[in-house]
A and B are shown apart, each in its own frame.
Chain A
């Protein structure tokens, strides 16, 4: 593969990406792009991020060889990149710190964000508390019910959580409301988008802030095993932990990249969130990307037991990697994710987020098909404390 430099200057990954936003936001989006380009090249900005990631977030996170899980799967070795051990319990803080520092640099005092599972909302509220920024978080009413603990955490951290009742009252609708809020308050507010989606420069910027995951993994693997891993596995909602893990490996053709979408009750039912497996390209939330939509171009509701994967689109760069065949995208059902949630808890003493449990479930299947000499790294994107209630009531229903 030639040197990978996407997106191009206009923010496109092939046909995907771009800046499909109302004119009111164009000035802000262009300014953000310029501010990010200048910050990226500024060693003091990078040093500031590095300092906070180390001393506040607790990076680097371990790359852990899951011996018991490996023996259970009976094939390739499975390593876990422990993003669940970050401060606030997930990878989301990597991006929140980068963008909040950028907002400060741009002189913005207010932050608006959307959240699905609440992990991005908590990360954003945390960083806003640290940097003394006003914080408002839009969250779907359904998700507020599912993730009550995270709502309380955000409020403790000083954020205002606004319940979104429009549409399916989940992540998609929270993004709509956050965008509307941004349109109305664009002068003094930064939209701290939580995934590799939205208008350029967000997909690139969020990827860059998250690519600390892949960069560390590459170094750690080199040090402990001496080679490159054979496969990387990560779950995909919008796709930020996966993009952060994949990006530093895109030009390493020997490394297979696997994204795992939520199949909900099954990809052949109406209740799933498998945008790449079952969707088609379209325009939503500022970018051209794969979407779940009906044949009239109306966006469909996504369904997953995991609030963080419950989104009917997938970031433009994943859409591109899918089309060129550089990454492969599979899906895991609610049931399989629940099983993996319990499996990892029992075998390794690690309770994964339901989102990450999708990646674990797929990795176990993948490992079984691969030779013992091969190595898989799974991005364990978050910890599962927030999901314990959901899992408890689901398991009770099943009995």
Chain B
């Protein structure tokens, strides 16, 4: 059983929901990445999404854009990030996902990239500008290395296409809950609950909701209709303002009161 299957079967046994935090690698300096991964596991992360900074992040809103700029100004490179994940692997046992735009991978060399992330112990990749039409550029290598490609579906994805996309994956289905880019939102589309239920209906793999999620209330509400959440901009903000108390509190959303005490 790989780390993904492990993580989700444990959740299922405990009738719990997944909490996947996103952090921007290199924000605050690359040397704090290992510590942050350890901390997020301690706070109860089901899996951790590690963002790779890119100069032109078209799917991201201001919070993650700024985090990416800070990381790049720190001299963060994909090579450095993979090396740090390799170090963290000895101490972190939850699945680690790399979220990166396509160009840093292309520039690294696709074969080299897959070889190196496998060695570092990365369990999956999320590539926001790689729709299924283009994924053959990397899927043969990922499959051979047994690294999951986590695919996205959105409110604009037709149901037939959601079926196709969800049937390709093994890890989980990343369901984008807004028509827009990443970043905290106060309001969701009124049809979101129905959409999540419909996705859940057709997807053979766990369905996680992401984009725009920033509060415990939202998380509790959304997870009535899906298997868990991915929280990005809010976590990036909390690390940037070094508000670890708030972070721990947010991540304790699925824990029973006795566990917190």
Contacts and interface: CB of A to CB of B under 8 A. Distances in A.
A282 B55 CA distance: 13
Which interface class (under 10, 10 to 19, 20 to 34, 35 or more) fits A? 35 or more
Most chain-B Cβ atoms within 10 A of its Cβ — which of A21, A26, A297? A297
Contact of A284 (B56, B131, B180): B56
A149 to B, nearest CB: 28
A10 B181 CA distance: 25
B181 A180 contact: yes
A286 interface: yes
A22 B152 contact: yes
A145 interface: no
A27 B78 contact: no
Contacts of A293: 103, 107
Interface stretch (A126-134, A152-160, A181-189, A257-265): A181-189
Contacts of A180: 58, 61, 181
A283 B179 contact: no
Nearest to B76: A296
Interface stretch (B17-25, B37-45, B154-162): B154-162
Nearest to A288: B106
A296 B104 contact: yes
Interface in B76-120: 77-79, 101-108
Given A10-B133, A27-B161, 19 more contacts: A20-B102, A20-B129, A21-B131, A22-B58, A22-B128, A26-B156, A172-B56, A180-B61, A183-B58, A186-B156, A186-B179, A282-B106, A283-B106, A283-B129, A284-B103, A286-B129, A293-B103, A297-B54, A298-B54
A251 B157 CA distance: 39
B71 to A, nearest CB: 11
A183 B56 contact: no
Interface string B152-183: 11111110010001000000000010011100
B133 A19 contact: yes
B56 A176 contact: yes
A22 B59 contact: yes
B216 to A, nearest CB: 26
Contacts of A116: none
Contact of A281 (B101, B104, B106, B155): B106
Contact of B72 (A10, A21, A24, A298): A298
B30 interface: no
Interface in A271-304: 280-286, 288, 291, 293, 295-299
B127 to A, nearest CB: 9
A183 B107 contact: no
B65 interface: yes
B144 interface: no
A282 B131 contact: no
Given A281-B106, A283-B102, A296-B104, A187 B59 contact: no
A166 interface: yes
Contacts of B65: 166
A20 B155 CA distance: 18
Most chain-A Cβ atoms within 10 A of its Cβ — which of B102, B107, B153? B107
Contacts of A18: 133-134
B34 interface: no
Nearest to A291: B103
Contacts of A295: 107
A286 B134 CA distance: 11
Nearest to B181: A180
Contact of A297 (B107, B130, B134): B107
A167 interface: yes
A314 B162 CA distance: 33
B51 to A, nearest CB: 14
A282 B56 CA distance: 12
A285 B154 contact: no
A76 to B, nearest CB: 40
A184 B181 contact: yes
A185 B101 CA distance: 22
B111 to A, nearest CB: 15
A192 B151 CA distance: 28
Nearest to A280: B107
Contacts of A298: 54-55, 72, 104
A133 B161 CA distance: 31
